Structure 1
């Protein structure tokens, strides 16, 4: 079967695209091929382009020069210079553009060129979700969203417009769970989105900006990927409760409690009922990060020349708290003291953009994560933390080991309370009471979001002897990116890219369901050709 074209919009660093591109069919060939990806952020776009370059080579035949780049031995410019044909395709495929600002005519032109006349293709992507997130709305004290004040509220219309003009056979659209409760003065955001996606042509019926020569979109049936419909309407439209569209990633082999709304749309002229995702056992955080090189944290608020192993040890060993004020946590205090007495900084220090490391033995899906050609681990450096935060981190990780939960603010001794204006509110109202959250080794991690780029307090490593927050590579492991997936840009940008992505391993499982739809389309087309041949004979 010829590879199915994919257009990936709001692509980020390419998590959705990676999952679909990883599905292999006969003779180890890709079932899906990314024909065009669109992303506005310059650093995410660089990552997207690099991964497109990686995919230009047959499975298992990526040149050694790619790994030389990842190891920092050659520049990306030199890599692209050595493989101009593959680089040219990748640069053309990964388009840096802002949907809603770039002229629609240019978007239509690029999509049409990428598809080259193919009608049965796949649209994927997740319109920016900050406007819909529950935490974001709470922070902005918004109960009702206003598109006139926040253009992100209606960015899904860029997705919708592509459906209306280009009518892909199938689409997969991802967003945060908060979209289910978001509303404007007029209506529920999610109800309107479902209605618009079902009939994009009607949603744009009064829009004179659509090209006059486009084929009318026949509309879509919207399916859940995890639940069977409650019933079907007379026209075949499946009916669900809104919560049926939530995918709980930890139920599908993803090592984090990531809960997202993902919609599967099938064009109305395709009479096919898709499968749903299989459930699996939960995957523990330790199963995907324990084999990575151990690091110490960096140090902030000290001179760079003083950021040494001995200074790190000194800052941690100067921890000072009164264990008698919390007799119920005496075991935690004792474990903290025990761990401090056994602290030995890692030979890898604070890590780096690449660490030579022959001992990759990831106990979960090693074939998915590990690439033996790498000879090490990229994007694995720890950020800097203040001395007092180091004390909070080692206390939190010891608390997690003994209590099996992350401590709330009032589980810390007073001497370790954060110097934050909201600390009293956190204690009294329990709002943001888990400002310092250790990830528990024996359970799936909490959701990795772009907030991980801020300070790391929500993503404390479970190992007290490392006394730090997660690195980009550890976050990428939690998000199920393969180790050979290199993130470009600053460390802050890398964290944002990882946090905003769809887990590739989840996308891979969705791709398997979507591939069956295209298999049916091909079978249907072959049947029609056979009937036409019989009639002509």
Structure 2
């Protein structure tokens, strides 16, 4: 098996894709030797998935499924298989990469990382580095929110975290690396340079770049170089040093074009060490998959009700900074209460839109459970991702629980869903205004122009929009298209959109689960990238 080191691993999307590539449907082609992630909940997810992979393909024990079904604790699962648990503990590290921080007990020094990498590789020279340095500093939304045109590493250390990735390349010289980040990286600027141009130049010559930054001090390290390739555009031009020439946009992968039911556009770089002579392939385009094709058959569940606004008042009138202050009252959550409100909402929407949602005889619906025992499965035998998601040992679905929502938001969800069902598009702010003030999104920025699609229904007949970590804060951008449910996505639905297999368990509470799903690389995309990497290394060894 080809060794993998996975840094800034998140919940393991890249690693899952690489680990899923099999030789003759039996043995894994790639073996993750070390994964590093600083978030404690994502680390627990990594460790559990490492435990899952410690067993031979198709031989995961029943106790794992008892755990995900809630019939067994994680502690008891690990105690039942101590050898596999110890192996997972050795593979998955919880730690922070970057500049020294004495207050961070999980900070990993370069010496610790280097020693561990040398240990797990055991002198093996043909290995692969994967990972995506934190992207918040580069994202267009984040930069807009912070009103930053020029990025400054002295003010935000995340700007320079790619250098940790770079340093590992310089010191340990993987055969191949795969580095992922947001599309906003292409336009990010520092005071000195376009950041993407600098990153490409640094990755091409990592030793010189790391020496100049002072991240390594050994001037005797061999000056190994890398060629950086696009995974979607074939190279047809080289510079005088025989480095491939691409436009920045050539590195953007549009996941909906490669069998992922989501319009997620990310920059992914393929770095190949200059002495590796294998053939460099590109991803093959696939038919688009609709959102409905991957979540449409999941059990129907309703939204939960948390509270309702009893009244509002204004504050700050004397200072000229007028803001609304809302007062809430608890609402008892039950199917009967929910259904009564939905029927009332539907009557109002029918008057406004001239359209009635078919909400008769839809219940009683539950809000779902962490495990739902069901033989019902949403994908046909012909669906290209059926085998990817499906695990017959699971016997149901995990993480399929609705959030609880403010009653007024459920009303907006229902209006938005009915609007989609009638017009085939989600409503914008003007459409909410026409419906009346009681439907208008209730926040200070509603009319600022920044949130014209604040309540976004995900359309059923096309790929979903990008699942982001913001889904952990609210579900307004990820409203289920079915007006009979009037709710936002569950963790499992978000995971389906991200192409995590159904037996993939996310540790932590629901907020942490959503955060992990939103931050991940779609595993099915990573699986296709793994095929390209495998072919390069197989060519090299022939």
Query: Among residues 481, 484, 490, which one is paired with 1:465 in the alignment?
Result: 484
In the alignment, the residues of structure 2 paired with residue 371 and residue 137 of structure 1 have an alpha-carbon distance, to the nearest angstrom, of 41
Structure 1 residue 25, shift from structure 2 partner: 1.1
Contact 2:306 2:331 in 1 (8 A): no
- Residue of structure 2 in register with 1:344 after alignment: 362
Cα distance per residue 1:378-435 (max 9 Å; x no partner):
0110001111111111111121122222111111212300111111223xxxx32000
1:237 aligns with 2:235: no
Contact 2:301 2:368 in 1 (8 A): yes
In the alignment, the residues of structure 2 paired with residue 452 and residue 87 of structure 1 have an alpha-carbon distance, to the nearest angstrom, of 31
Contact 1:124 1:173 in 2 (8 A): yes
Task: Give the secondary-structure state (helix, strand or coil) at the position aligned to 1:160.
Answer: helix
- Residue of structure 2 in register with 1:398 after alignment: 418
In the alignment, the residues of structure 2 paired with residue 278 and residue 331 of structure 1 have an alpha-carbon distance, to the nearest angstrom, of 48
- Residue of structure 2 in register with 1:64 after alignment: 62
- Residue of structure 1 in register with 2:137 after alignment: 131
Query: Among residues 334, 343, 348, which one is paired with 1:308 in the alignment?
Result: 334
Structure 2: tracts of 5 or more residues without a match: 99-106, 309-328
Larger CA deviation: 98-107 vs 13-22 = 98-107
In the alignment, the residues of structure 2 paired with residue 203 and residue 284 of structure 1 have an alpha-carbon distance, to the nearest angstrom, of 43
Contact 2:279 2:539 in 1 (8 A): no
Structure 1 residue 6, shift from structure 2 partner: 0.2
- Residue of structure 2 in register with 1:479 after alignment: 498
> Relative to structure 1, is the Cα distance of residues 295 and 459 closer, same or farther in structure 2, using a 3 angstrom cutoff?
same
1:433-444 to structure 2, matched below 5 A, reads 433-444=452-463
In the alignment, the residues of structure 2 paired with residue 178 and residue 208 of structure 1 have an alpha-carbon distance, to the nearest angstrom, of 27
Cα distance per residue 1:17-47 (max 9 Å; x no partner):
0000000113621110100000000000000
Task: Give the secondary-structure state (helix, strand or coil) at the position aligned to 1:261.
Answer: strand
Cα distance per residue 1:462-511 (max 9 Å; x no partner):
11101100000000000000000001101000000000000000000000
Contact 1:165 1:217 in 2 (8 A): no
1:423 aligns with 2:423: no
1:143 aligns with 2:149: yes
Query: Among residues 36, 39, 43, which one is paired with 1:38 in the alignment?
Result: 36
1:445 aligns with 2:471: no
In the alignment, the residues of structure 2 paired with residue 84 and residue 148 of structure 1 have an alpha-carbon distance, to the nearest angstrom, of 44
Count of paired positions: 508
Larger CA deviation: 42-51 vs 401-410 = 401-410
Contact 1:163 1:200 in 2 (8 A): yes
Contact 1:332 1:398 in 2 (8 A): no
1:382 aligns with 2:408: no
1:83-122 to structure 2, matched below 5 A, reads 83-100=81-98, 101-122=107-128
Contact 2:279 2:535 in 1 (8 A): no
In the alignment, the residues of structure 2 paired with residue 490 and residue 182 of structure 1 have an alpha-carbon distance, to the nearest angstrom, of 34
> Relative to structure 1, is the Cα distance of residues 214 and 39 closer, same or farther in structure 2, using a 3 angstrom cutoff?
farther
> Relative to structure 1, is the Cα distance of residues 318 and 26 closer, same or farther in structure 2, using a 3 angstrom cutoff?
closer
Structure 1 residue 214, shift from structure 2 partner: 7.3
Contact 2:468 2:518 in 1 (8 A): yes
Structure 1 residue 344, shift from structure 2 partner: 2.7
Query: Among residues 5, 9, 14, which one is paired with 1:7 in the alignment?
Result: 5
Contact 2:15 2:32 in 1 (8 A): yes
> Relative to structure 1, is the Cα distance of residues 345 and 516 closer, same or farther in structure 2, using a 3 angstrom cutoff?
same
In the alignment, the residues of structure 2 paired with residue 4 and residue 331 of structure 1 have an alpha-carbon distance, to the nearest angstrom, of 63
In the alignment, the residues of structure 1 paired with residue 421 and residue 345 of structure 2 have an alpha-carbon distance, to the nearest angstrom, of 19
- Residue of structure 2 in register with 1:513 after alignment: 532
In the alignment, the residues of structure 2 paired with residue 235 and residue 268 of structure 1 have an alpha-carbon distance, to the nearest angstrom, of 11
Query: Among residues 150, 161, 168, which one is paired with 2:167 in the alignment?
Result: 161
Contact 1:409 1:434 in 2 (8 A): yes
Contact 1:401 1:440 in 2 (8 A): no
Query: Among residues 365, 384, 387, which one is paired with 1:367 in the alignment?
Result: 387
Cα distance per residue 1:172-196 (max 9 Å; x no partner):
0000000001101111010000000
TM-score computed with the length of structure 1 as normaliser: 0.91
Structure 1: tracts of 5 or more residues without a match: 324-329, 524-537
More helix by share: 1
RMSD in angstroms over aligned alpha carbons?
1.8
